[in-house]
Amino acid sequence: MSNSLSNIFKNLFNSKEESVFGIDVGSSSVKVVQIKKKKGKAILETYGELSLGPYAGFQIGQSTSLPPEKIIEVLKDVMKEANITTKNCGIAIPIKSSMVFTIDMPMFSEKQLNQMVPIEARKYIPVPISEVTLDWFVIPTEERIPDDSSADLPTDQKNKEEDKKRVQVLIVAIHNDVLTRFSNIVRGSELNAGFFEIEMFSTARAVLDQDSAPVMIFDMGASATKLYIIERGIIRNSHIISRGSQDVTLSISSALGVAVDKAEKMKINFGSNLPEEDHQIADIIGLVIDPILSEVNTVLLNYERKYNKNVMKVLLSGGGSGLNGFAEYVSKKINTEATLALPFSKIETPAFLNETFKKAGVGFSVAIGVALRRLQEIQ
């Protein structure tokens, strides 16, 4: 059957409103978001989250590392509670389970790059190249007026000019053991997963608009804070800080002598606790967050020095960014406008949930980004 006939029959028999969902397996919870397309719009059908802590005998909000069989149990439970009605999904892989970096290379042909990139990548990957799955693409250069000034140069000099042309290549490496782990989770959950995707690409899809100027995504999870600088839709820099919102909770628990679950509630209710408690919590938050923001400043400064460009704004994502007053605090500390990301604005949602999603929605950026990609694939 020809491709054109195949597509016709596919369109005839496949529903235009087929549902999909995105899965975000984090360090402290599993999140799911189910959407469908109707009249050209992505529409929210359901969403849900379950904490991993109780499945490991820990408190809600605590990060943990569960074996695949436990993740399968959590995934089935959250799908049931959220009333997920489809098997079509995509799954995000934590960035800490991968390596993402750029290398500078001569401007070879695509065939030459296919041969040279794995060779160069070996210098940056601390395990045998046979143990990872590698993907890469050339970062587009900024548009320039073609320069034909070398057209009349002697051959030797022309070759030297060609040698000066360089390209940046973004390389993604995922350990095969990680892919096997997620494949087992998919198989055990009886899902139809179209892809695995590193979480930073999912987050970018969910929170970015059509910005051409450099933007930083500040994604604070439970156990780590991820920083991505994106320009013209391309991730130019990524950085992981091994501290996150769980560190705030544990610090509150230790400093105030309260149980971890109560400390988590006090953190979430910051601004609504007793005045004395909120004053103490504010000091504790500063002690944890300020070193993170100092590192953010360093990343921003290094980028601006390297590329001679200013990062215009910082988008706050991840569950840890939902603290009351967090955007204002970050803006003051890094001298750059920081605003909460609005991932649910990429899909149509019930009007009565709009205010809820403005704050609580930041934790679902990854799951939404995955769902949006899966929806695009099946249409």
Specify the pLDDT at position 17.
Answer: 56
Per the CB < 8 A criterion, the answer to whether 203 and 366 are in contact is: yes
H helix count then E strand count, the chain? 12, 13
**Does 354 share its domain with 206?**
yes
Please tell me the distance from the alpha carbon of residue 351 to that of residue 89, in angstroms, as a whole number: 26
Look at residue 240 and tell me whether its pLDDT is greater than 60. yes
Strand order of the sheet with strand 41-51?
41-51, 29-38, 19-25, 88-93, 192-198
**Does 26 share its domain with 105?**
no
Would you say the C-alpha torsion 90, 96, 98, 103 has a positive or negative sign? Answer: positive
Specify the pLDDT at position 154.
Answer: 55
**Does 272 share its domain with 160?**
no
Query: Side chain identity at 177, as an amino acid letter?
Result: D
Please tell me the distance from the alpha carbon of residue 55 to that of residue 88, in angstroms, as a whole number: 25
Q: Is 166 helix (H, G, I), strand (E, B) or coil?
A: strand
Which of 147, 174, 201 terminates a domain? The answer is 174
Give tens-digit pLDDT for 200-221. Answer: 999 999 999 877 789 999 999 9
**Does 187 share its domain with 167?**
no
In 3D space, the residue among 76, 69, 67 whose CA is nearest the CA of residue 30 turns out to be: 76
**Does 346 share its domain with 324?**
yes
* Packing angle of the helix pair 326-334, 275-307 (nearest 10 deg): 40
Burial of 107 (0-12, 13-18, 19+ CB in 10 A): middle
Please tell me the distance from the alpha carbon of residue 37 to that of residue 307, in angstroms, as a whole number: 39
**Does 370 share its domain with 221?**
yes
Which of 159, 174, 189 terminates a domain? The answer is 174
Specify the pLDDT at position 7.
Answer: 44
**Does 238 share its domain with 141?**
no
Burial of 41 (0-12, 13-18, 19+ CB in 10 A): exposed
Specify the pLDDT at position 179.
Answer: 94
Write the CA distances from 265 to 30, 59, 64, 103, integer angstroms.
19, 12, 19, 44
Q: Indicate the pLDDT class of residue 8, thresholds 50, 70 and 90.
A: very low
**Does 365 share its domain with 230?**
yes
Q: How many domains does the chain have?
A: 2
Specify the pLDDT at position 107.
Answer: 85
Q: Indicate the pLDDT class of residue 236, thresholds 50, 70 and 90.
A: confident
Range of the domain at 29: 3-98+175-378
Tell me, what CATH number does 317's domain have? 3.30.420.40
Per the CB < 8 A criterion, the answer to whether 185 and 177 are in contact is: no
Strand partners, 314: 216, 338
Take residue 17 and report the two structure tokens written for it.
């409103």
**Does 91 share its domain with 138?**
no
Strand order of the sheet with strand 234-241?
234-241, 225-231, 215-220, 313-317, 338-340
Which of 174, 190, 208 terminates a domain? The answer is 174
**Does 160 share its domain with 186?**
no
**Does 187 share its domain with 78?**
yes
Write the CA distances from 51 to 62, 229, 328, integer angstroms.
8, 29, 28
Specify the pLDDT at position 11.
Answer: 42
Q: Which residue has the tokens 């608009």?
A: 209
Tell me, what CATH number does 111's domain have? 3.30.1490.300
Q: Indicate the pLDDT class of residue 13, thresholds 50, 70 and 90.
A: very low
Q: Indicate the pLDDT class of residue 337, thresholds 50, 70 and 90.
A: very high
In whole numbers, what is the pLDDT of the chain averaged over residues? 87
Mean pLDDT of 148-169: 56
The whole model's pTM is what? 0.86
Specify the pLDDT at position 76.
Answer: 97
Task: Give the phi and the psi of residue 250 in degrees, each rounded to 5.
Answer: -65, -35
Q: How far is CA 308 from the centre of its chain?
A: 26
Write the CA distances from 235 to 168, 197, 230, integer angstroms.
12, 14, 4
**Does 251 share its domain with 358?**
yes
Strand partners, 134: 173
